[in-house]
Amino acid sequence: MTGFRRPLLIAHRGFPGLRLEHTRASYELAIDEGADYIEPDVVATKDGQLVVRHENEISGTTDVADHPEFADRKATKIIDGSSLTGWFTEDFTLAELKTLRTKERIPDIRPHNVELNGTTLILTFDEVVQIAAEGTQRRGSTVGIYVETKHPSYFASVGLDLNDLLMDSLEGHGLNRQEAPVIIQSFESANLRELDARTPLFLVRLVSPKQRADLDDLSDIASFADAIGPQKDLVIPRTKDGQLGEPTDLVDRAHAAGLEVHIWTMRDEPKFLPAGHSALEEYAAFFETGVDGLFTDWTSTAVEARDAWTG
């Protein structure tokens, strides 16, 4: 799957700029606007089902706090070194989670999505696979799935192996094969190393700014992954006044190590844009660095920008 002709456009949680993230409407809009891949984050339920949420703590994206029958499920847990208080998917069965409704995660930034609160259900990973298949048929071109395993070490510690659950699902759909339109990503290396021995699928090691030291040895990452997924400031840093600075050498170094580079995340809202740049200008700057793909919250803008850049 290396050597994409044009940068991949990955619909980050669907089209959360205009729809509630990780919902059917969000994924379907992204597909219809031209995304190459739709991106679900997967976490596990108490009964070993994969559901699609940004985090396993769901008070920020569902109405769970409004359900008195679940009040006693509120808990404080340490997730990847951070203390979180709320409601966690691993304490609910899938049937219980299906009684909840989703809501906007960042209402102050996306107030137009608040009116959609309470209208949609939590999806399973299997349902997202079906949405991609339906989208492929509807538009006549392949819709890929770019899935992130969230907190795999934590889930393993509570007896829920995300790799096993994901492999079982992919096998069931006939998608654990070389040419399947599926990419798997993770911020952790250990589970990717284990997946590398179990699947021929394209693997991506995500890298946050806090993990930038991991980029010092790209040859190690290349031993188990096919690409890196750095936060975009690691490719073009921001200056002190919020503008785009000079690109780093990360893309060139990654390519030299045989790795692709898929950056995250492009957004249209002014709060997220570099000073003095429109969204289209920001896309153009990153395309010029040679990135092989990017995550976007606004598929339509990404498509417009790529079309303009490729001519």
| Residue 69 covered by a domain | no
At 221 the pLDDT is: 98
At 169 the pLDDT is: 98
At 4 the pLDDT is: 44
Q: What is the CATH number of the domain that holds 159?
A: 3.20.20.190
| Residue 47 covered by a domain | yes
Under DSSP, the state recorded for 101 is: -
| Residue 18 covered by a domain | yes
- Give the model's confidence band at 5: pLDDT under 50 very low, under 70 low, under 90 confident, else very high: low
- Give the model's confidence band at 1: pLDDT under 50 very low, under 70 low, under 90 confident, else very high: very low
**Residues in the chain, total:** 311
| Residue 256 covered by a domain | yes
> Which pTM does this prediction carry?
0.96
Asked whether the predicted pLDDT for residue 304 surpasses 90, the reply is: yes
| Residue 44 covered by a domain | yes
| Residue 103 covered by a domain | no
Taking Cα atoms as reference points, which of 134, 214, 168, 133 lies closest to residue 42? 168
Which residues, in sequence order, are bridge partners of residue 9?
294
At 311 the pLDDT is: 84
| Residue 65 covered by a domain | no
Task: Kindly report, residue by residue over 137-196, the tens digit of the pLDDT.
Answer: 999 999 999 999 999 999 999 999 999 999 999 999 999 999 999 999 999 999 999 999
**Helices and strands (H, E) in the chain, number of each type:** 10, 13
Domains identified in the chain, total number: 1
Asked whether the predicted pLDDT for residue 3 surpasses 70, the reply is: no
Taking Cα atoms as reference points, which of 22, 39, 1, 43 lies closest to residue 166? 43
Tell me which residue range forms the domain holding 152: 8-56+121-310
Write the Ramachandran bin of 80: left for phi over 0, alpha for psi from -120 to 50, otherwise beta.
left
Q: Residues 6 or more apart from 86 whose CB is under 8 A from it?
A: 57, 58, 59, 60, 64, 74, 75
Which residues, in sequence order, are bridge partners of residue 76?
85
| Residue 146 covered by a domain | yes
Task: Kindly report, residue by residue over 10-31, the tens digit of the pLDDT.
Answer: 999 999 999 999 999 999 999 9
